[in-house]
Amino acid sequence: MRPTVHDIAAEAGVSLATVDRVLNNRPGVRSVTRDKVERAIATLGYVRDVAAANLAKGRSYPLIFILPAGENAFMRGLEAEVRAAMARSPAERTEIALLCVPAFDARALADALAEAHRRRPAGVAVVAIDAPEVTRAVKRLRDDGIVVVTLVSDLPGSARDHFAGVDNIAAGRTAGNLMGRFLGGREGPVAVVAGSMLVRDHRERLEGFEAVLGECFSARQVLPVVEGQDDATLVEKLVAALLERHPDLAGIYSLGAGNRGLVAALERAGRAKTVCAIAHELTPHSRAALLSGTIDVLLNQDAGHEIRSAIRVLKAKADGLPVIEAQERIRIDIFLKDNLPNGQA
Amino acid sequence: MRPTVHDIAAEAGVSLATVDRVLNNRPGVRSVTRDKVERAIATLGYVRDVAAANLAKGRSYPLIFILPAGENAFMRGLEAEVRAAMARSPAERTEIALLCVPAFDARALADALAEAHRRRPAGVAVVAIDAPEVTRAVKRLRDDGIVVVTLVSDLPGSARDHFAGVDNIAAGRTAGNLMGRFLGGREGPVAVVAGSMLVRDHRERLEGFEAVLGECFSARQVLPVVEGQDDATLVEKLVAALLERHPDLAGIYSLGAGNRGLVAALERAGRAKTVCAIAHELTPHSRAALLSGTIDVLLNQDAGHEIRSAIRVLKAKADGLPVIEAQERIRIDIFLKDNLPNGQA
DNA sequence: GAAGTTTTGATGTACGTAAATCAAAAATTT
DNA sequence: AAATTTTTGATTTACGTACATCAAAACTTC
């Protein structure tokens, strides 16, 4: 049977109250006594029953999630996962609120963070934009003891407690490696379509992609990146222009959203099968394009894992508990049409 | 505030005892009364506080894990994760025992299952061998109400409750797709090295691999599979022979263990860079070979996820609770040298 | 060694549920 | 209508921890 507070009180030869004082480091315990108790804890291998402790404390965790608004299917997937987490709230002792702000708008995001601050939650999860006012807003939250986790796109210079997202440089490198190998000896340049260089994840993916092509496939020309604002209509226009200007285009790496536009442009130009397309995020559209062969590889981050991980980390950090980094690592899923899970998304 | 049993008693106009009878379907409640209570539960949106319930019940989950013995690095990784779970036992109310049996020995495995049966655990997790005596042993466990989860390699015809492992057909198909694309127009046949056709996961990977090559890369010759018994020494001999017999060998798919032998043979023959090698499971050796370029792609299943998922499922099923299949899906990790996590394994 | 301070003990209540007991009420049968 | 059975209520204890209160003991300080 696992030891309880009573057992360690008996083992240490002190009262329950003293054990409690040590465990919850309340004042009024001589250091000799404290040592006795701590030795008893060690020898018996006592571990606090977190469930019972939470029950007794009646603790709950008010959390705020801040996501970009708009049509971006991946972000809407994230939102769906946040709502699923809300539905689990009673069981997880969380009280989750959701704020949506215009995409790529640092000012609006900073305002949303200030609003979140006013509500005094235990923690905030935010899809960050890499801008000074955002960094400052995060700092103010942290100064008030509010835990901040960045989601999907990080804010490395800031005081954020944790980043729940993939290693975007590695993602870009992976795309570069696959693109290089898939193209093999085939001629022609490679294009890159991003959402915006304002967000760090897109910058990092580009950096990784270009690095690998430069290192390992230096014969391959990479065209200057174009920014589609994660907007399908704009992306379609841009890709159509690229296809027209470069009849020998060998590949496209779409590292942001708006893949409906990418797929439409490729198919309309009749180049779906000849251009190697690598894109990000599994959505109903990108899934269909992968199965049809228009997209060759999809890199994905599991939205459900990201949200659940963020919540675990927020709760742990709010309690001052350590986080097992290895367990919270968000993996880069690589989907070919052969390993597509047949369920959701 | 979330509703408690008291609230639903008040709402339904019955006593606490009656609510308890309904919640834990104890006998002695008229169906009219039961309906009243259930309506109250629905209108208040009551959700049982599982933590408090477990506390009150003092429930614990005796579980048994059965793994193959031997040098197989992946299996030893699984074992390490089981031991890590044992260390977490006090916090998770589990009591985990570990049995190791000789690999590829159906008889020994059936005996181990019988031994597990004798110990009357709440659940058993087992790396299955696809043999009638194993299926029968699993059936006997199930007939006694013991939950059975297969791990890594499934036993589809059996009564097992759940499979915690990857879709091995998809894994084989993925390997086939990548092999086909990586080789591009290059000449030469492809070899397949398995551990044993006795275990289902190896058979399924082979099936998927051959299917994709047949469907999409039908010009490519696939040599007959050779079985290395997951033994590095044997694998090295077999691969060395393959390399000698086929000077134009373009690729090798190693779908089992013993990759030390694969790497050694390739490097000794000076063919490490010219033969495209795709292998399974991230271990210290395979990781090094991926980084050095001897192995081109590693397919991996996360041992930690598998063990943790198996435990969650065993506990849930032991309580008769539903399992969220999507959440328990084990993903196929595809590692290139660019997206290798820098931590463990 | 008396007064003051700090440390410790004893005890009780609470959290939300499980499970048991016994009495009371309601329904059923005769 | 009495006897019997079934259903319901009231109450208690327990799980392991948190937290508060008050009294008793152990230390200081002068």
In Å, what is the separation between the CA of A17 and the C1' of D21? 12
Does any domain span residue B282? yes
Q: Say whether residue A60 is in contact with chain B using an 8 A CB cutoff.
A: no
Provide the pLDDT for residue A193.
98
pLDDT tops 80 at residue B157:
yes
Produce one character per residue of A162-183: b if its CB has 16 or more CB atoms within 10 Å, e if not: bbbbbbbbbbbbbbbbbbbbbb
Is the same domain home to B175 and B293? yes
Does any domain span residue B340? no
The total number of structural domains in chain B stands at: 3
CA-to-CA distance for A2 and A25, rounded, in angstroms?
A: 22
The residue segments making up the domain with residue A153 are 60-165+303-330
Reported for B7-14, long-range contacts at CB under 8 A and 24+ positions apart, including other chains, are B7/B44, B7/B46, B8/B37, B8/B40, B8/B41, B8/B44, B8/B46, B11/B40, B11/B43, B11/B44, B12/B36, B12/B37, B12/B39, B12/B40
Does any domain span residue A53? no
Q: Which nucleotide is nearest to B58 (CA to C1')?
A: D15
Is the same domain home to B64 and B156? yes
The residues, ordered by sequence, that sit 6+ positions from A54 with a Cβ below 8 Å of its Cβ are A93, B51
Interface of A with B in 285-324 (CB under 8 A): 302, 304
Is the same domain home to B97 and B190? no
For A172, list phi and psi in degrees, rounded to 5: -65, -40
A1 touches strand D (CB under 7 A): yes
Provide the pLDDT for residue B176.
98
Q: What is the pLDDT of residues A23-50, one digit of tens each?
A: 998 988 999 999 999 999 999 999 999 8
Dump the DSSP string for A220-238: S-BPPPEE-TT-HHHHHHH
Nearest Cβ partner of A329 from B181, B336, B341? B341
Inter-chain residue contact A343 with B326, CB threshold 8 Å? yes
Does any domain span residue B53? no
Q: Say whether residue B208 is in contact with chain A using an 8 A CB cutoff.
A: yes
Is the same domain home to A186 and A280? yes
* Tokens standing for residue A4: 């309880």
> Residue A123 in contact with residue A318, Cβ under 8 Å?
yes
Is the same domain home to B154 and B202? no
Provide the pLDDT for residue A264.
98
What would the 3-class secondary structure string for A34-93 be? Answer: HHHHHHHHHHHCCCCCHHHHHHHHCCCEEEEEEEECCCCHHHHHHHHHHHHHHHCHHHHC
Does any domain span residue B342? no
> Residue A187 in contact with residue A247, Cβ under 8 Å?
no
Inter-chain residue contact B325 with A343, CB threshold 8 Å? yes
Is the same domain home to A24 and A117? no
Q: Please tell me the least confidently modeled range out of A36-45, A317-326, B297-306, B308-317.
A: A317-326
Strands B251-254 and B276-280: parallel
Q: What is the mean pLDDT of residues B16-43?
A: 92
Does any domain span residue B336? no
Is the same domain home to B307 and B216? no
pLDDT tier for residue B291 given thresholds of 50, 70 and 90: very high
Q: For the domain that residue A24 is a member of, what is the CATH number?
A: 1.10.260.40
Provide the pLDDT for residue B343.
64
Is the same domain home to A288 and A181? yes
pLDDT tops 60 at residue A344:
no
Is the same domain home to A172 and A320? no
Is the same domain home to A174 and A264? yes
The residues, ordered by sequence, that sit 6+ positions from A76 with a Cβ below 8 Å of its Cβ are none
Q: Say whether residue B251 is in contact with chain A using an 8 A CB cutoff.
A: no
Q: Look at B284 and A321; give whichever has higher pLDDT.
A: B284
Dump the DSSP string for A142-182: HHTT-EEEEESS--TTS--SEEES--HHHHHHHHHHHHHHH
A59 touches strand D (CB under 7 A): no
pLDDT tops 90 at residue B1:
no
Provide the pLDDT for residue A343.
63
B50 touches strand D (CB under 7 A): no
Does any domain span residue A336? no
pLDDT tops 60 at residue B345:
no
What would the 3-class secondary structure string for chain B be? Answer: CCCCHHHHHHHHCCCHHHHHHHHCCCCCCCHHHHHHHHHHHHHHCCCCCHHHHHHHHCCCEEEEEEEECCCCHHHHHHHHHHHHHHHCHHHHCEEEEEEEECCCCHHHHHHHHHHHHHCCCCEEEECCCCCHHHHHHHHHHHHCCCEEEEECCCCCCCCCCEEECCCHHHHHHHHHHHHHHHHCCCCCCEEEEECCCCCHHHHHHHHHHHHHHHHHCCCCCECCCEECCCCHHHHHHHHHHHHHHCCCCCEEEECCCCHHHHHHHHHHCCCCCCCEEEEECCCHHHHHHHHHCCCCEEEECCHHHHHHHHHHHHHHHHCCCCCCHHHHCCCCEEECCCCCCCCCC
B288 touches strand D (CB under 7 A): no
**Percentages of chain A per state (helix, strand, coil), in multiples of 5:** 50, 15, 35
pLDDT tops 90 at residue A319:
no
* Tokens standing for residue B231: 């033994």
**What is the share, in percent, of chain B residues with pLDDT greater than 90?**
88
pLDDT tier for residue B2 given thresholds of 50, 70 and 90: confident
* Tokens standing for residue A87: 């539905």
Is the same domain home to B216 and B242? yes
Among residues B48, B68, B83, which one ends one of the domains?
Answer: B48
CA-to-CA distance for A21 and A28, rounded, in angstroms?
A: 8
Q: For the domain that residue B223 is a member of, what is the CATH number?
A: 3.40.50.2300
A4 touches strand D (CB under 7 A): yes
Is the same domain home to A267 and A290? yes
Does any domain span residue A340? no
Residue whose pair of structure tokens reads 């708006």 in the numeric block: A258
The per-residue pLDDT of chain A, averaged, comes to: 94
pLDDT tier for residue A90 given thresholds of 50, 70 and 90: confident
Provide the pLDDT for residue A2.
85
Residue whose pair of structure tokens reads 């040599």 in the numeric block: B223
The per-residue pLDDT of chain B, averaged, comes to: 94
Q: Tell me the C-alpha to C-alpha distance, in Å, between residue B104 and each of B72, B81, B127, B257.
A: 12, 21, 10, 13
Beta-bridge mates of residue B150 = B126, B163
Q: Residue with CA nearest C15 C1'?
A: A56
Inter-chain residue contact A329 with B339, CB threshold 8 Å? no
Nearest-Cα distance to chain B for A87, in Å, is: 11
Provide the pLDDT for residue A88.
85
End-to-end distance of chain B based on CA atoms, in angstroms? 44
Strands A61-68 and A94-101: parallel
Give the largest Cα separation in chain B, rounded: 84
Q: What is the pLDDT of residues B96-134, one digit of tens each?
A: 999 999 999 999 999 999 999 999 999 999 999 999 999
pLDDT tier for residue A309 given thresholds of 50, 70 and 90: very high
**What is the share, in percent, of chain B residues with pLDDT greater than 70?**
99
Q: Say whether residue A327 is in contact with chain B using an 8 A CB cutoff.
A: yes
A288 touches strand D (CB under 7 A): no
Nucleotides on chain D that have an atom closer than 7 A to a protein CB are 6-12, 14-21
